[in-house]
Structure 1
Amino acid sequence: MKKVHVLAMAASAAAILAIPAAAQNVNARPNFGVVTLRTGFTPDPRIIPVVSGGTINAVRVRGSGVCRGFISSSPDARLVFNTDGNLPLIISVDSSADTTLVVNGPDGRWRCDDDSGVRGLNPSIRYARPRSGRYEIWVGSYRSGTNARARLHISEVRSQ
């Protein structure tokens, strides 16, 4: 009986460990390119045209709180940012569709947003004291199976 109990516990542990990790690949080639910026960049905002969405439910992003929407495995954009930390870094999306935002910062922390942007259903994430390094950025679609044209804004001045 004891042996059966140990085997059941081992099977349960194996099942828990088999749960897939977040499917985001921070090292994959970004879908819409790499941007390198330094504090005081112009033009501000820097705008990157993207298409939102993917097949991965952003709820699976670990350590981020609650993420919403559907994103791709590869980041949509990679920002390589050099800063003195005196200006904020604002990453936001402008779209006529309901979009979401997922960012993995240089410290490895995940941040997500749904509707904090200036207009309605647009997301925005603000780093008050940004770090230098890589920011991997995903623009999600709120609803599964939908994609929308969007504009990713990177700014030190304002959110979209």
Structure 2
Amino acid sequence: MKLCRSQIALSLLCLAGLFTVVTSNPVTANNSFFGKISLSPNSEAVKKIVTGYTGGSYSLSAVSKRDRNKNLCIGFADPTPDHILVLEKDFSKLNIKVNSGGYDTTLLIVGPDDKTVRCGDDTGRSKDASINDSNWKAGEYKIWVGSFKASTRQNYKLSLQE
């Protein structure tokens, strides 16, 4: 099958236009699947619950092999964070827990800079992940909720509590 020069030129022009559309909308680090969560400490206990689902095949160990406390970073998620957490002020402590009904979930949190990483896996007897840590500085945190097995889709509730 032969194509004339005008058909080839038109095809190339269409491809160039498609490439321009795709590359002119860069993905920013602030994108997330399930949106932003804002927390500000006050005199009452702070607690937020958001929902989402796991399902990616991207290895979270590609983000970081270990966290700041030498915990392994494991599990699978999408390359884009599931949530963006915005801490409006410093928190002395924060507890972040996944509730998927007992499925094997993992957590990876990066922020407020790209050097501070926190990872969580099983919580006690539960296969659901949690991170209970101190010294949370004000700023933006990227949160990935992963599953132990790649491409496993599980609904979850993510709770954040002071």
Structure 2 length normalisation: TM-score? 0.71
SS in 2 for 1:100: strand
Deviation readout 1:114-147 (Å, 9 max, x if unpaired): 11x3551111112312100011100001111211
**Quick one: distance in 2 between partners of 1:118 and 1:32?**
27
Question: Residues 44 and 125 of structure 1: is their aligned pair in 2 closer, same or farther, counting only changes over 3 Å?
Answer: same
Query: Which residue is equivalent to 2:152?
Result: 146
Contact 1:26 1:136 in 2 (8 A): no
Give the counterpart of 2:121 among 109, 114, 118. Answer: 114
Query: Which residue is equivalent to 1:75?
Result: 81
**Quick one: distance in 2 between partners of 1:30 and 1:41?**
30
**Identity over aligned pairs, percent:** 33
- The amino acid that maps onto 2:95 is I
Query: Which residue is equivalent to 1:52?
Result: 54
Structure 1 length normalisation: TM-score? 0.72
Question: Residues 148 and 26 of structure 1: is their aligned pair in 2 closer, same or farther, counting only changes over 3 Å?
Answer: farther
**Quick one: distance in 2 between partners of 1:119 and 1:33?**
30
Larger radius of gyration: 2
1:52 Cα deviation after fit = 1.4
**Quick one: distance in 1 between partners of 2:45 and 2:135?**
21
**Quick one: distance in 2 between partners of 1:69 and 1:40?**
34
| Structure 2 residue 97 is matched with structure 1 residue 95 | no
SS in 2 for 1:59: helix
SS in 1 for 2:158: strand
SS in 1 for 2:131: strand
Greater Cα shift, 145-154 or 26-35: 26-35
Query: Which residue is equivalent to 2:32?
Result: 30
Deviation readout 1:66-121 (Å, 9 max, x if unpaired): 21110111110001102244x41121111121110010021321221111x35511
| Structure 2 residue 41 is matched with structure 1 residue 39 | yes
SS in 2 for 1:107: coil
What 5-or-longer segments of structure 1 have no aligned partner? 1-24
What 5-or-longer segments of structure 2 have no aligned partner? 1-26
Query: Which residue is equivalent to 1:128?
Result: 134
Query: Which has the larger strand fraction?
Result: 2
